[in-house]
Chains A and B, each alone.
Chain A
Amino acid sequence: MRIKQISVFLENRQGRLYDVCSLLGSNDINIRALTIAETESFGVLRIVVDKSDAAIKLLRDNQFVANFTDVIAIEVPDQPGGLASILKVLAENNVNIEYMYGFVEKFSDKALLVMRFEDTDFAQKMLAKQNVHVVAEKDIQGL
C-alpha cells in the first residue's frame, strides 16, 4: 500500500528547514520520517507525517512549494542482512529504487524504510510476493 510522502522545495536560505519544522510542530503535526536531498543550490525535504492532508494544506497556505509523492514503507528485519534480503528481491526483478531512507523510530521489532520507486505498482507486487510487510497509511498515522 502506498503512503503519501510530502516533498517540500527548499531554496538555499538560512533557517528554511526550521521554518517548515516549526510550522508543522506548532500545528501538532508529527514528522515520522525525514530526509533531505540537497544540491549546491537548493534542497528537497522529504517527510512522512501523521496527518498528511492537513500538513500539505498548511504548507501550501504558508507559501511553501509542496507536493505529494507516492512511496512505499516496508518493514525490514532488524538484523544483519535484513535489508540485503529485500534488496535482493528487488534487484532480481529489475526494480529500480530512486531513493530510500529510514524511519525515525521502530514500528515493532523491525526497522522501517521508506522507498521511492520508478514503478511503484510493480515494486509493490514484487514485495508482496516475497511476503515483505508493506506498512499502510493508517499505520503511519497511528505511530
Chain B
Amino acid sequence: MPDVPFWNREVETAGRSRLQQLQLQRLQGIIGWALQTPFYKRRLSQAGINSPDDVCDLQDLQRIPFTTKDDLRQNFPKGLLAVDMREVVRIHSSSGTTGIPTVIYFTRDDIDNWTDLLARSIAGTGATTDDVFQNMMSYGLFTGGLGLHYGAERVGMTVIPIGGGNTKRQIQTMKDFQTTVVHITPSYLLHVHSRLGEDGIFRKDLALRKAFIGAEPHSENTRRKIQDLLQIDAYNSYGLSELNGPGVAFECVCKKDMHVWEDAYIAEVIDPKTGDVLKDGQEGELVLTNLVRRAMPMLRYRTRDLAFLHPEGCDCGRTHRRLSRILGRTDDMLIINGVNVFPYQIEEKIMKIPEVATNYQIHIDKKGALDRLTVKVEIYPKLFLGDVAVLEALRNKIRENLQASITIAPVIELHEPGSLPVFEGKAKRVVDERPKD
C-alpha cells in the first residue's frame, strides 16, 4: 500500500452518515437556488417541491424528475441560470446535438469549489508542488483544459498551459521543462509515445512519472499499455461539462476506479428504461446531481454514460464511493479523440449542402494511436461539371462546415451516387472499426 495523500482528509474520509448529512444540507441549498430558475421552478413544483423544506431526506431526491441534455437545449441560453449575470464569472460550453450548444455558468464561488475538487483529485494521485504539470488538453470552451489548470495551480504544481496538439512541441516541452505529470486523452498519449525519438528525444530524456487520462473511455488494457510503454502511473478521470467538467470522479493512488466526490455530487445509477434507482454494483445509467454550483444548479442529470458504483470501500481509506470505467452509452454519442460527437450533428450539416445527396456514412478507425473520422458522402450528379477544383472545394466546404459543428476536422470522401449502403436508422450509418480491447 503506497502512502495515501489527502487534500482534505476530513471530508475525504468522512463517515457515511456525515456525508449524507452534508449531502442533504447541500441538496436543500441547491434546490433553493434551482427554484430561482424558470425551468426548475416549473419542474419542481410539478413534483410538489416549492421550497427547500419540501425535501426532508435524501430519499426525497427520487421525487425530483430527471434533467436531460434536451432540457438544457430547450432552455438555452438562460432557462437554468439561477443568478444575475453580474455574478457569473465564467461560461463553458459544449457543442450541441442539433446546433444549439450546451452552456454552463459559474459564479466565482462555483469556480472556487470546482477548483478545489480538482486540487483534491490531483493531490490524491500523489502529485505535489514538486511536479511540473503539462496540460495537454484543449483550453477554451471545453472544460478539460481550464479545469485541471486551476486545480493544478491550487496544488502548487508548475503548470505549463500548452493545450492540445502539436506533438513535436509537446515532446520538446516535456524535455525542456522536465515535465513530470501530463493531462491528456489516452489515445493522444499513445500517439505521443509513438513519436518519441523522432527529434532525438527519447524516454530517457524525459522526467514523466504520471498521467491523468480522461475525456474518452478506455479499458484497463489501455491503461496498462500506457503504463508499460512509458513507465508511468496513469490515473483515470471522469467528468462532463454539465456537471462542471473534470473533477466529478478521479482515481486515487490505488488506481482501482474513480472516487466520486460525494460531498459535491450525488451519484445514482438507474435503469435507463424504467428510471428505477439500482443498487451499488449494478450497471446502469449514471445520474448526477451537482450540490455546489449555484449559478446553474443541475438536479438528477442523466449522463447517458453506463457504469456502476462499487459497493465496497477503497484501500486508501476514502469513504466516497468509486465509479467504474464508463462501459458504454445509452445514446449514439461517439467519442473521437476525446471529443463528443453525435451522428445527428454530422447529418444536419450534410443535409444543408445541396451538392451532395442525402445518403452518407460515418466511418471511424484508428490511424496509429489516434482516432480518424471519415465522412463519406455521395455527390449529386446534376451538379457535377467535370471540374476537379470544384469537387475539391466541395470537400473543403463540407469539412469546414462539419468542423464548425463538431470541432474536429473529418476526412471527407466523395462517392458515386448509390454506392453507399442505404440504411433506415441513423445509428447504422456509423461504422466504428476501432479495436475494442
Interface set of A (CB-CB < 8 Å, partner B): 5, 7, 9-13, 37, 39, 41-42, 44, 46, 60, 63-69
Q: Assuming A9-B379, A41-B395, is B416 touching A63 (CB within 8 A)? A: yes
Q: Name B385's contact: one of A10, A41, A67 (CB within 8 Å).
A: A67
Q: Output the nearest chain A residue to B392 by Cβ-Cβ distance.
A: A39
Please give me the 10 A-B residue pairs with the lowest Cβ-Cβ distance, nearest first.
A7-B386, A69-B386, A37-B388, A65-B381, A11-B415, A65-B384, A11-B416, A42-B414, A44-B388, A67-B386
Q: How far is the CA of A49 from the CA of B74 in the complex (A)?
A: 58
Q: How far is the CA of A67 from the CA of B385 in the complex (A)?
A: 6
When distances are taken between beta carbons in the complex, the residues of chain B under 8 Å from A68 are 386
Do A44 and B391 touch across chains, with their CB atoms under 8 A apart?
yes
Min Cβ gap B108→A in Å is 50
Q: Assuming A9-B379, A41-B395, is B416 touching A65 (CB within 8 A)? A: yes
**Which of under 10, 10 to 19, 20 to 34, or 35 or more describes the interface residues of B?**
10 to 19
Q: Assuming A9-B379, A41-B395, A65-B379, is B386 touching A46 (CB within 8 A)? A: yes
When distances are taken between beta carbons in the complex, the residues of chain A under 8 Å from B416 are 9-11, 63-65
Q: Output the nearest chain B residue to A41 by Cβ-Cβ distance.
A: B413
When distances are taken between beta carbons in the complex, the residues of chain A under 8 Å from B2 are none
Q: Name A42's contact: one of B381, B391, B411 (CB within 8 Å).
A: B391
Kindly state whether residue B417 has any CB partner on chain A within 8 Å: yes
Kindly state whether residue B412 has any CB partner on chain A within 8 Å: yes
Q: Name A7's contact: one of B379, B385, B419 (CB within 8 Å).
A: B385
Q: How far is the CA of A13 from the CA of B240 in the complex (A)?
A: 41
Kindly state whether residue B425 has any CB partner on chain A within 8 Å: no
* Extra 5 A-B pairs, beta carbons < 8 Å, given A60-B381, A69-B386: A7-B384, A12-B413, A37-B388, A44-B391, A46-B386
Q: How far is the CA of A18 from the CA of B412 in the complex (A)?
A: 24
27 CB contacts below 8 A, A to B, read A5-B386, A7-B385, A7-B386, A9-B384, A9-B416, A10-B416, A11-B413, A39-B392, A41-B395, A41-B411, A41-B413, A41-B414, A42-B391, A42-B413, A44-B386, A60-B381, A63-B416, A63-B418, A65-B379, A65-B381, A65-B416, A65-B417, A66-B384, A67-B385, A68-B386, A69-B385, A69-B386
